[in-house]
Amino acid sequence: CMWSLPSSDAIDDKAMEATTLSGVHSDQIISLATMVLPSQNEDTNELNVLFSASRDGSFALWDLDRNGELIFTSQCADIVNDSTVSLTCADVTNPTSWDDGYNDSSKSGNDAIVLGTSNGYVIGYVVEELMSFASNSETGVESEGSPVPNLRFRAHGTDTGKGEAITAIKCGGDGTIPTSARLRGGDERPASSSNSRSLSSSILLTGGEDGSVKQWEILSQKTPSSPPRIRMEHWPRLSSQRMKRRSHLFTPKHDGPVSSISQQSKSDSSKFLTCSQDGSVAVWSASSGKELFRMDGFSSGISSLACLGRELLVTDGMEGYVCVHDFGIEEDAADNSYDLEW
C-alpha cells in the first residue's frame, strides 16, 4: 500500500491509504526501495520510482509520480535450469539521486538493482535498460521474453544445496578501482588506449546462509554494441584473486544466517555492520576484513538493523521491541532514561 502522510505534527492527523499496488507479487515482499531517475519528460528533471522484489522471483518498478502506476515487471529465472528462481534479498544503487546527479550525465547508467537468490547467485540489472525495455514494449509492461541481466555470478555456495542462499545484500557506494584501470591476469592495471572506455566501480556486500560475509567490487563499462549496453563484472572472479585495497572475506563468520547489512553513511565505506539470526551484531573493517567488535545478548535472532548517523543503531531482536543503541551517550548517563529528539 502507498500512504499519504500528514503534513503537520498534530496528533489527530493520521496517515491515509492512497492506493494499493497489486497484481505483480504472489509471495512475501523481500525488498522495497525508492529511486530517483533521470526523466525523459522535458517538464521535469527527475522521475520518482519504487522498486519491489518478492520471494516468488518477481521484481517491479512503479511510478510514484503517477500514483504507483506499474512501469515494468519481470520474473527472475535460472538460465541454467530454465526455471524460476526464488529471491531472498535485494538492494539498489542510485548515484543519480546523490547531489542532484540527474543533472550529471556522467552518472547516467550507473543506477542498478541487485538481487540475491536462494541458490547463491547475485543478479544485477541496470535500471536505465529496464526502463528502455518497458518503453519499447507495446503495453509498457508486458514484453516478449525477459531482459538479459547485466550481472550474474555465484557469490555463495558450491552447488551442494546446503547453506548456499544469499540472505543479505547491500550496495556499498563508490568502489576503489580507478576509472582508468582494467582487469587482466588477476591484477588491476592501467587501461591501454584501445581499452579506454569509461569504467566505474562500486562496492557490493553479501551475507550468506552459512554466516559468511563477503565484499566485492562491481565494475561497470559501456560496450560498443548497438544499442550500447552496460556490462557489469564482479571482482574477484577467482578464489586465487585478491582485492588490493579491501578485504574479500571477513572472519570470524556468524554462527547463523546473515540477515541484514548496514553502513554508517554512503560517504564512509571504511566500516560496516552485519546482524544475524544467531542474535549478534558485528562491526567490520572493510580494508582488513577483521571484526572490530561484536554485540551479543539479544534474546532472539536479529532480522534487521539500520544506522542513524554515526552514533545511533536501530535493531530488533529483543522480544518484539525496537531497540535504539546510542553510542554517543556518556556511560554515567546510560543509567538514566532520556528522550530521543527527532
Q: Closest by alpha carbon to 286, among 169, 184, 176, 134?
A: 176
**Distance separating alpha carbons of residues 115 and 124, to the nearest angstrom:** 6
Instruction: Please give the pLDDT value at position 15.
Output: 75
- Dihedral sign for Cα 3, 8, 11, 12, please: negative
Tell me: pLDDT of 116 over 90: yes
Instruction: Please give the pLDDT value at position 303.
Output: 92
Tell me: pLDDT of 191 over 60: no
**Distance separating alpha carbons of residues 49 and 62, to the nearest angstrom:** 5
Instruction: Please give the pLDDT value at position 169.
Output: 98
Tell me: pLDDT of 96 over 90: no
The percentage of the chain sitting over the pLDDT mark of 90, rounded to a whole number, equals 47
pTM given for the model: 0.85
Q: How confident is the model at residue 189 (pLDDT cuts 50, 70, 90)?
A: very low
Instruction: Please give the pLDDT value at position 338.
Output: 52
Contact residues for 327 (Cβ-Cβ < 8 A; gap 6+)? 310, 311, 312, 313
**Distance separating alpha carbons of residues 90 and 282, to the nearest angstrom:** 21
Q: Considering the chain, what is the average pLDDT of its residues? A: 82
Instruction: Please give the pLDDT value at position 159.
Output: 61
Q: How confident is the model at residue 87 (pLDDT cuts 50, 70, 90)?
A: very high
Cα–chain-centroid distance for residue 228? 24
Instruction: Please give the pLDDT value at position 228.
Output: 76
Tell me: pLDDT of 202 over 80: yes
Tell me: pLDDT of 21 over 50: yes
Tell me: pLDDT of 205 over 60: yes
Tell me: pLDDT of 49 over 60: yes
Instruction: Please give the pLDDT value at position 193.
Output: 39
- Residue-wise pLDDT for 213-229, tens only, equals 999 999 988 887 767 78
Instruction: Please give the pLDDT value at position 179.
Output: 59
